[in-house]
Amino acid sequence: MIVILKPNPNQAQLDSLIAWLEEKQIQIHKSVGTSRTILGLVGDTAAIDANLINALDIVEDVKRVQEPYKHANREFHPEDTVVSVGGVQIGGGSFAMIAGPCTVESEAQIIAIARQVKETGADILRGGAFKPRTSPYAYQGLGAEGIALLKAARQETGLPIAAEITETAQLPLFADVDLIQIGARNMQNFALLKALGTQEKPVMLLRGRDASYEEWLMSAEYIMSSGNPNVILCEGGIRTFEPSARNLLDLTAIPILRRLTHLPIIADPSHAVSRAWLVPQIAPAAVAAGADGLSLEVHHDPEHAVMDGPQSVNPETFAAIAKRARALHAYLADA
Amino acid sequence: MIVILKPNPNQAQLDSLIAWLEEKQIQIHKSVGTSRTILGLVGDTAAIDANLINALDIVEDVKRVQEPYKHANREFHPEDTVVSVGGVQIGGGSFAMIAGPCTVESEAQIIAIARQVKETGADILRGGAFKPRTSPYAYQGLGAEGIALLKAARQETGLPIAAEITETAQLPLFADVDLIQIGARNMQNFALLKALGTQEKPVMLLRGRDASYEEWLMSAEYIMSSGNPNVILCEGGIRTFEPSARNLLDLTAIPILRRLTHLPIIADPSHAVSRAWLVPQIAPAAVAAGADGLSLEVHHDPEHAVMDGPQSVNPETFAAIAKRARALHAYLADA
Amino acid sequence: MIVILKPNPNQAQLDSLIAWLEEKQIQIHKSVGTSRTILGLVGDTAAIDANLINALDIVEDVKRVQEPYKHANREFHPEDTVVSVGGVQIGGGSFAMIAGPCTVESEAQIIAIARQVKETGADILRGGAFKPRTSPYAYQGLGAEGIALLKAARQETGLPIAAEITETAQLPLFADVDLIQIGARNMQNFALLKALGTQEKPVMLLRGRDASYEEWLMSAEYIMSSGNPNVILCEGGIRTFEPSARNLLDLTAIPILRRLTHLPIIADPSHAVSRAWLVPQIAPAAVAAGADGLSLEVHHDPEHAVMDGPQSVNPETFAAIAKRARALHAYLADA
Amino acid sequence: MIVILKPNPNQAQLDSLIAWLEEKQIQIHKSVGTSRTILGLVGDTAAIDANLINALDIVEDVKRVQEPYKHANREFHPEDTVVSVGGVQIGGGSFAMIAGPCTVESEAQIIAIARQVKETGADILRGGAFKPRTSPYAYQGLGAEGIALLKAARQETGLPIAAEITETAQLPLFADVDLIQIGARNMQNFALLKALGTQEKPVMLLRGRDASYEEWLMSAEYIMSSGNPNVILCEGGIRTFEPSARNLLDLTAIPILRRLTHLPIIADPSHAVSRAWLVPQIAPAAVAAGADGLSLEVHHDPEHAVMDGPQSVNPETFAAIAKRARALHAYLADA
């Protein structure tokens, strides 16, 4: 970390800063220039809050020369991390398709969808049991029963299962879920992140719609520094001023994150674009940007379901997206 | 709710939509115009997800003609709600000052600050015990001990106390805290919102930095519909592209929310602007925009504290801000 | 256009609204529902400002049922527009590469680059002569001489040329430029848009970094309604809160715009991402999202040029991007 | 300017950077630290593009230690600038009210409004003659005739007049306009900024809705460095994700800009909030944030004008806002 001091800093404040840093075992290298003095800080600077130093009256600016995340940092772990989700490898050049309904509704529904997506190219079954909804009056999901139905679908099809957790107290219910998802709204629910760090199941961490890349990686760091290295990042869009799509899928995030971290990166176009017709149009772009896989909402029977159809693709469209995505991934790997 | 259909909608899909709505006890009034047919929905439409209907192929657009929040809605509750926080009235024309350190550090610290802010104009003492931090390596607060120290400061000064909760499991520790704060990152932690709705202590709900007004009110609605009417809104800034301040304090939110809801609205400039020198500059603007009070970070001894001083104002500055804010509030009430 | 009135609207204001609309030759169809009255407006509603009606006290909301752009609207022009740029066809399934330096520096430079990009896959040569710069102290380009040098490079290589115009008075200098670019900052410079509508050269309209899709198309409409149908849209990124890339390339814009308009859509990753290493990573995603071509900054001699290299790819990288992009475009067309 | 190099930078690239800087008369002071080498640049660094250096492979980061604007910088001009607009002083502790219709419609209209606002507290009359409109089909203003009518209203009332310019070619028409406004969409129309720098009339520069503080000041710098020191900044709101107000008025901008620059700062709530009922609610907050004045849309006869009323306040409301604003400004100056 480099601290650029203002000209003629107050000596008492500077001494106070230096004493505080030394107490934290930070070595300080001072460079006195013509107009500015610069402090180079060496040691475990990840625990130092750059914003706080930056706000001091005597400080012009603070620059980290090393990212504040350690476990997630590619610099210290050059090889891609490969996370095994119930036997399915995610990351390291492979390509995974995660598919299933927004909400688990019934045994018949989830088993029907599980069979269809398995046949047409899914590696992992997803399904919502605890649904975070903006309105308290909206349907909140089947809860524990939804998890049980996902397990039944796994039993039937052999597909590993993924579901979103919304609170630490639900953790026992997820003991046998293959991939635990943290939704965008909980990306900085630090208590939940820490709890997921103390268990071993892989965690898929959706980006908060207002989160910078660094904040996203720091949330992964919460899980990893608590003991669980099996983190998958999932880009699901950010909030912008454009009214026509719910969130904007940030595909530039994929190559930038690829350079910063060794963790796998999945894209979730359904979450971002919110309209089924757009999903097959944007999915290939996510593959071409380098995603390690896609997570898609698929509905089994759109003809009789008013309320899930519009956001979800049907199994035929899913089959086409999956086939095209895998072929494109292979094509680009060879090209 | 008004549903505008596309020209020549598919009849099977339209029948399916109507059947689904009727199942939810919604009455449907159809108006056939020259180019478009419109469905007027009457009944308990708060439980209907407008986005889902909007995404249907046969639907051009959906308009709510009534806000989806009921308990928070001023239309059904024209008088201002006044929330009593340990005897301090918030809302309804009164003006409250909430002040205290970002973090409770020690008994000596919190009692010293409590005395100073009480003398110079605070109505309620705030202090962080459980600190949500972007980095897992940053200091996370004293936890339960911090709450105990706040109670000691209350004992000493008589000031009601406010602290942030970050997880449902902490709730027993907050049983005797006068005002429970939900931070910006947890504004859509629905499990926590529901839990706070099942107890009686007042809740101050900070706006998420990416939250629309409606989303913010829907989060208040979670608490209220779970049984707790004592909700205070707190504007603490939103995220924008401008790099020089952490968040942008949205003061237009105050008159707009005032019209939409009967709940009190507090402004927290410290959270938004992140630099002490700006706080006294922007605080009067929050008062003039109609805030029911201010929440401010105050540090007791900036000369010996490198790390809290820069974001917090010192007690003298707090005294000046508080005096000026109260005078301005009274002046504007008379003007 | 549909106008939803508030319950019990003021009759005088309603009469005034109706009279005003009738004066503009708009027919009004009234539907009286149980809780709301709705006016359906039929006629040339493109000239009606929806925001103004929306702001009336008696109006609940206004919905356009038809887009306010006519010339750019795919509904009235279902086939893709193909724009010919000096004989190069853009749109309609073809794929175009536009390449060249950020700034024209000298005859030797522009001719060297023109030759290199022609050999390695460019269809059109771009080069900046009038440079819009945030700072008045930054280099502003060679101006008229830059345009002359571009023509010399065209003479030498046969490549059509593209350059950015920044002011109406420059128009005579662009009379023989094959493609006139409007930069992001001038997307709503309506005087310039109208001027470009009165001449025949194709115009490439970069999206403003704060522009919604509709605003972008309305700017295209300015050019088209002034008489010039040869408009190409160019996505170059929008402004967000993320600090690590200058702008965020919005690839979802491509399929959404494809549905709304018949105009060709080019992506400019160089403008958005601002670092050379990212350009080859994100370019394939733009192709997979359906772009009709790419516009790239290429520098000829990065070893001796400190200042252009970092934002521009070198000719070897350009060759690789172009080859990969064309192959991917062909692959996706066949897949 | 401080350049932080990456560890072990490529020597050839470093030599190239140093040679390039020396060519620009920049002195270089090198500090070699344990992990990083830092270059301190001394000289006229305003002409150096920090982004370009930042993008070099060998560079970790670049920090300006001095703002890139000189004429607008308070550091070199500690006293407030006071701009005289037809005899009305703006800045330096005074408070100015600018008022008038969105659009000049007729002689009767503009003279009626001019009389009313003069009586009720306006110092300067504003009125739109050239209207920048998102749609080419929307009314574009009276043009030259509108300017002539403004002059007639000045003749009648003695109020100085303000109007927006949208293109350099209009400049002769503005030779006798007291205050020339640049709208938000033209904040980075550099050709127009330079043209306004070569004449002497005061210029009011509205902030672009996507402009950072630094970009805004750099646009002021274009005018000032071209020879015209009479620049007034006008905050009119930025674009955010919140759908309920057109733009978000950024009141924190006022104290931050006050510290960075000596130029006067006006707030334009009408432009930002777009609904008349909000204007009197937010105007006092702008005064309390320290604005040197307000610019407001006022309509003369809302009973017979469907289309201007909703965005504009009527003369009675204007009178109340103006009275309250002046009293509040005086109160705060004394407090």
**CA D235, CA D249: separation in Å to the nearest integer?**
7
Among the partner-chain residues C213, C243, C252, the one whose CB lies closest to the CB of A282 is: C252
Compare CB distances from C168 to D16, D51, D169 and report the shortest one's residue. D169
CB of D145 within 8 Å of any CB in chain C? no
Angle at D116 between CA D112 and CA D119, to 5 degrees: 140
Chain A partners within 8 Å of D63 (Cβ): 4, 60-61, 63
Q: Is the pLDDT of residue B132 over 70?
A: yes
Indicate the residue of C256, C285, C327 with minimum beta-carbon distance to A289: C285
Residues C161-187 as b or e (16 or more Cβ within 10 Å = b): bbbbbbbbebbebbeebbbbbbbbbbb
Look at residues A181, A259, A245 and name the one whose alpha carbon lies nearest to residue A213.
A259
Q: Please report which helix (H) or strand (E) contains residue A325, including its range.
A: helix A315-334
B33 vs B31, higher pLDDT: B31
Q: Are B282 and B273 in contact (CB under 8 A)?
A: yes
Mean confidence (pLDDT) of chain D: 91
Highest-confidence segment of B3-7, B261-265, C306-310, D295-299:
B261-265
Place of tokens 């509750």: B77
- The answer to whether C285 contacts A288, with C-beta atoms less than 8 Å apart, is yes
- Alpha helix positions (H), chain B: 11-23, 50-54, 107-119, 144-157, 190-197, 213-225, 253-260, 269-273, 279-288, 315-334
Q: Give chain D's largest Cα–Cα span.
A: 75
Fold of D74-334: TIM Barrel (3.20.20)
> Is there a contact between C7 and C35 (Cβ–Cβ < 8 Å)?
yes
| Other CB atoms within 10 Å distance of the CB of residue C118 | 18
- Read off the DSSP letter of residue A73: B
What is the distance between the alpha carbons of residues B312 and B296, in angstroms, rounded to a whole number? Answer: 8
Q: Is D179 exposed, middle or buried (0-12, 13-18, 19+ CB in 10 A)?
A: buried
DSSP type of residue B90: E
Query: C156: buried, middle or exposed (CB in 10 Å: 19+, 13-18, 0-12)?
Result: middle
User: Residue C196 pLDDT > 80, yes or no?
Assistant: yes
Alpha-carbon span D186 to D208, nearest angstrom: 7
**Contacting subunits of B (3+ beta carbon pairs below 8 A):** A, C, D
Cβ neighbours, 10 Å, residue B104: 29
Is the confidence at residue B79, as pLDDT, over 70?
yes
Query: A80 and A264 in contact (C-beta within 8 Å)?
Result: yes
- B residues 292..321 contacting A (CB < 8 A): 303-304, 306-307, 309-311
| Contact assessment for residue B205 and residue B220, using Cβ atoms and an 8 Å cutoff | yes
pLDDT of residue C302: 62
Q: Indicate yes or no: CB of C252 within 8 angstroms of CB of A243.
A: no
Residues 29-48 (B) with a CB less than 8 A from some CB of C: 29, 31, 33-36, 38, 40, 42
Beta-sheet pairing, A37-42 with A2-5: antiparallel
In the sheet that holds C27-32, the strands lie side by side as C27-32, C37-42, C2-5, C59-63
| Nearest of A181, A326, A146 to residue A268 by alpha carbon | A181
CA distance to partner chain A, nearest, from residue D33 (Å):
7
Residues of D within 8 A of C274 (CB-CB) are 51, 55
CA dist., res. C291 & res. A28, Å (int): 51
The residue of D251, D323, D331, D332 whose CB has the most chain B CBs within 10 angstroms, and thus the best one to mutate to test that interface, is D251
What's the Rg (C-alpha) of chain C? 23
B324 → chain D, closest CA residue: D335
Cross-strand pairs, D126: D162
Query: Tell me: the pLDDT tens digits for D23-37?
Result: 888 888 887 766 678
Q: Over 60: is that where the pLDDT of B260 sits?
A: yes
- pLDDT at residue C304 is higher than 60: no
Residue D171: Cβ within 10 Å count = 17
Is the Cβ–Cβ distance between B162 and B147 less than 8 Å?
no
Contact at CB, B40 and C34, closer than 8 angstroms: yes
Question: Is the pLDDT score of B310 beyond 70?
Answer: no
Using a CB-CB cut-off of 8 Å, the residues of chain C touching D138 are 47, 49
Give pLDDT, residue B302.
Answer: 62
Whether the pLDDT of residue C303 is over 60: the answer is: no
Portion 63-122 of C in contact with B at CB < 8 A: 63, 65
Contact D296, D274 (CB under 8 A): no
| Phi, psi of D40, deg, nearest 5 | -100, 120
DSSP annotation string for D252-270: THHHHHHHHB-S-EEE-HH
Residue C187 at interface with chain A, using a CB cutoff of 8 Å: no
D256–B278: do the CB atoms touch at under 8 Å?
A: yes
Band (A150; pLDDT cuts 50, 70, 90): very high
pLDDT band at B308 (very low <50, low <70, confident <90, very high): low
Min Cα–Cα distance to chain B from A219, Å = 7
Chain A residues 220-279 within an 8 A CB cutoff of chain D: 239-241, 243
Alpha helix ranges (H) inside chain D: 11-23, 50-54, 107-119, 144-157, 190-197, 213-225, 253-260, 269-273, 279-288, 315-334
Q: What values do phi and psi take at A177, rounded to 5?
A: -90, 135
pTM listed for this prediction:
0.93
Mutate to test the interface with B, among A6, A23, A135 (most CBs of B within 10 A): A135
Which residues from chain B sit within 8 angstroms of residue D210, using beta carbons? 241
What is the number of other CB atoms lying within 10 angstroms of the CB of residue B169? 15
On the question of pLDDT at B304 being above 70, the answer is: no
- Would the pLDDT of A305 be above 70? no
Quick one: which of A300, A317, A309 has its CA closest to A153? A300
The token pair that represents D184 in the structure block: 């938000």
* Between C244 and A151, the higher pLDDT residue: A151
Q: What digits encode the pLDDT tens for the residues D282-314?
A: 999 999 999 999 999 998 776 555 555 567 899
**B50 CA: distance to closest CA in chain D (Å):** 16
The residue among C118 and B54 whose pLDDT is bigger is C118
CATH class of C2-63: alpha beta
DSSP codes, C46-96: GGS-HHHHHTSTTEEEEE-SS-S-STTBGGG--SPP-EEETTEEESTT--E
How much is the ipTM here? Answer: 0.91
**Each residue of C226-248: pLDDT tens digit?**
999 999 999 999 999 888 778 99
To the nearest whole Å, the CA of A334 is away from the closest chain C CA by: 11
**Inter-residue contact C248 to A239 (CB < 8 Å):** no
Residue C243, classified by CB atoms within 10 Å of its CB into exposed (0-12), middle (13-18) or buried (19+), is exposed
Whether pLDDT at B162 is above 70: yes
Between C275 and A201, the more confident residue is A201
d(CA C313, CA C281): 12
Give me the residue label for tokens 């006092």.
D284
Reported residue count of chain B is 335
Residues of chain A with Cβ-Cβ distance to C216 below 8 Å are none
The identity of residue C103, as a single letter, is T
**pLDDT tens per residue, range D130-164:** 999 999 988 899 999 999 999 999 999 999 999 99
Q: How far apart are the C-alpha atoms of D133 and D140, rounded to whole Å?
A: 7
Comparing CB atoms, the residue among A213, A273, A335 nearest residue C242 is A213
Instruction: Tell me what pLDDT residue D122 has.
Output: 98
Which residue of C15, C70, C173, C307 to mutate against D (max D Cβ within 10 Å)?
C307
Domain locations in chain A as residue ranges: 2-63, 74-334
Asked if residue A307 has pLDDT above 60, the reply is no
How near does any CA of chain B get to the CA of A331, in Å?
33
Say if the Cβ atoms of A2 and D36 lie within 8 Å: yes
Query: Quick check: D289 contacting B, CB < 8 Å?
Result: yes
CB contact under 8 A, C278 and A335: no
For C23, the enclosing helix (H) or strand (E) is: helix C11-23
Among residues D300, D297, D290, the alpha carbon closest in space to that of D321 is found at D297
Write out pLDDT tens, residues A95-126.
Answer: 999 999 999 999 999 999 999 999 999 999 99
> Nearest chain D Cα to A39, which residue?
D33
> What average pLDDT does the structure give for chain B?
91
Residue A107 contacts residue A151 (beta carbons within 8 Å): no
Q: Do C34 and B35 touch (CB under 8 A)?
A: no
Residue B32 DSSP one-character state:
E
Average pLDDT, chain A: 91
Q: Could you tell me which residues are beta bridge partners of residue B37?
A: B32
